[in-house]
Amino acid sequence: MTDTQPALATTKRKFHKLVDSIAASTSTTSLASTLQDSNASSTSLAHPSSPEPPNKRPRSSNASMEQNRSVSSSQARIQALKDQLLTPRREGTVRVVGKATTTSTSTTPRKPPNFQPYSKEQFLSRVKTFADVKKWTTKPDAINEIEWAKRGWSCDTWNTVACKGGCEKRVAVKLRPKRKDASGKAIEMSEDLTADVDDKLVEKFRELIERGHAEDCLWRKRGCQEDVYHIPIASRATCSADLLARYQSFASISSDLPLLENITYPDPSVQEILKRVPSSLFGPGSAPSEPADIVAFTFALFGWSGVSESRISLATCDHCFQRLGLWLSSDTRLKEMSKKLDVPIETLRLNLLESHREHCPWKNAVTQANSTDGPIANMPAWQTLQFILLPKHRDSPQKTRHAQGHNRNVESVDIGSELEYPRGSMDSYHEDKDKEETEAIEGKWKRFKAKLKRTTSKKSLKSMRSVRSGKSRPGTAGTEKEGERG
């Protein structure tokens, strides 16, 4: 009996260690706790004659504490792994296994790339940086803000451009000396506009528009496309939506708008335009009728939008970023200035076209860059808008035939129409040979069909059919020819 007891105790201790390892890996304590009790009783039977000192804990108690400690740590680790692996991953969230913190990318959106030569939005954002007169002064056309913006440059500080987000190069564009005060000291951040500009210096800066970038900068290799400044007015859907948005932007500041007689603009008058615009433009009962609404529509026709900043009413352009203080054109102030300066009040009125910057496509036909093969070629944006908006009178048939050899009518397009024209182009027209007047075409394929009808006669079609029938029936070809001769 005494010989078998040590072997039995040794076997149970091995079994106990095996159970401990299983419990640590599976984090189950019910089986381990059950075996602990039986192990404690078996240990007492194995050593009946050698009791342990009272101040020393039994081995089973130490094993139990170590087991509980290992089980609790393994349970915590397993639970953490389950939380991290089984929790659904949300979009824009990054979880790191083994760490309690998470990093969310939804609050920090990714910055768009700097080099986007086809992006008009980014181009306009760069042009906007040059709008502050405190940072940028007027430059010759060859090196104006549009040329710099097309090559990825933004205005950073006083007359200094930078490739922000790209190669980070900077160029200080200094053409004139600084102004001097009464004591002869140069004034910082100033420019003597009366001084002449050296043409060689202008040419040097024109080269720096491209070469000022770093060697590996993409803006050095390529700039924006030439028509990036174009306003797509020939698209009627975009045209009508933008016009209404500009018109409605003045609703909140209508009380600060100048009187109609205190603004000037090219003909035709706004009253004539309102008579000829399609009824579908404004919708039922929303056409301008009040004096302030008519003025707001006039502003919108020439590309202006209304905003209010710090309780100051402004008219702004979203392309050249010019800003006009409407209070400067109030009737009271114009009368005061006319009396103070001793000039006619007509010379102080607000010109809606000339108030745009020189490079603005609303004013400049070159930057508007309409298609050169259509009726809107060489038109600035304001003229293009009126051509699309207003229907033209038809020319007389006799005059049209004499000038072009056939009857052709070129009309502007009704904004309410569903027909779409390509950007900057209105070269799709329907031509009918048998009518005195033609209608607007609905696609290029109809023009081709009309041309085919004019050039192909019934006789030629009959001849083609006879040739085909002769090829298919060689024996009857001679008979058919003799019948035609007869």
pLDDT of residue 13: 72
Prior bond to 54 cis, omega within 30? no
Percent of the chain with pLDDT strictly greater than 90: 39
Distance of CA 290 to the CA centre of its chain: 35
Is residue 362 within 8 A of residue 317, CB to CB? The reply is yes
pLDDT of residue 388: 87
Q: Could you tell me which of 341, 367, 369, 372 has the C-alpha nearest to residue 356?
A: 367
Instruction: Please name the residues in contact with 130: beta carbons below 8 A apart, sequence gap of 6 or more.
Output: 136, 145, 148, 149, 154, 155
Beta-bridge mates of residue 102 = 95
Retrieve residue 214's tokens.
Answer: 């770093």
One-letter amino acid for residue 219 of the chain:
W
pLDDT of residue 356: 96
One-letter amino acid for residue 339 of the chain:
K
pLDDT of residue 465: 55
pLDDT of residue 109: 65
User: What distance in Å separates the CA atoms of residue 211 and residue 205, rounded to the nearest whole number?
Assistant: 9
Q: How far from 435 is each of 396, 407, 430, 439, CA to CA, in Å?
A: 13, 8, 11, 10
Which stretches within 54-115 are classed as H helix? 59-86
Q: Could you tell me which of 178, 229, 164, 215 has the C-alpha nearest to residue 368?
A: 229
Instruction: Please name the residues in contact with 282: beta carbons below 8 A apart, sequence gap of 6 or more.
Output: 244, 288
User: What distance in Å separates the CA atoms of residue 6 and residue 394, rounded to the nearest whole number?
Assistant: 121
The low-confidence residues of the chain, meaning pLDDT below 70, are 1-10, 12, 15-16, 19, 21-72, 81-82, 84-110, 284-285, 391-486
DSSP 102: E
Instruction: Please name the residues in contact with 366: beta carbons below 8 A apart, sequence gap of 6 or more.
Output: none
* Helix (H) or strand (E) run with residue 35 in it: helix 30-46
Per-residue pLDDT reduced to its tens digit, 237-248: 788 889 989 999
**Side-by-side strand order, sheet with 304-309:** 304-309, 312-317, 323-325
b (16+ CB within 10 A) / e for 242-276? bbbebbebbeebeebbbeeebbebeeeebeebbee
DSSP 186: B
Is residue 265 within 8 A of residue 353, CB to CB? The reply is yes
pLDDT of residue 251: 92
pLDDT of residue 182: 85
Q: Could you tell me which of 221, 212, 194, 201 has the C-alpha nearest to residue 142?
A: 201
CA torsion through residues 362, 365, 366, 372, sign: positive
Q: What are phi and psi of 325, to 5 degrees?
A: -80, 115
Q: What is the pTM of this model?
A: 0.60
pLDDT of residue 372: 86
Instruction: Tell me how crowded residue 469 is: count the other CB atoms within 10 A of its CB.
Output: 12
User: What distance in Å separates the CA atoms of residue 296 and residue 318, rounded to the nearest whole number?
Assistant: 16
Strand residue runs (E) in 185-257:
none
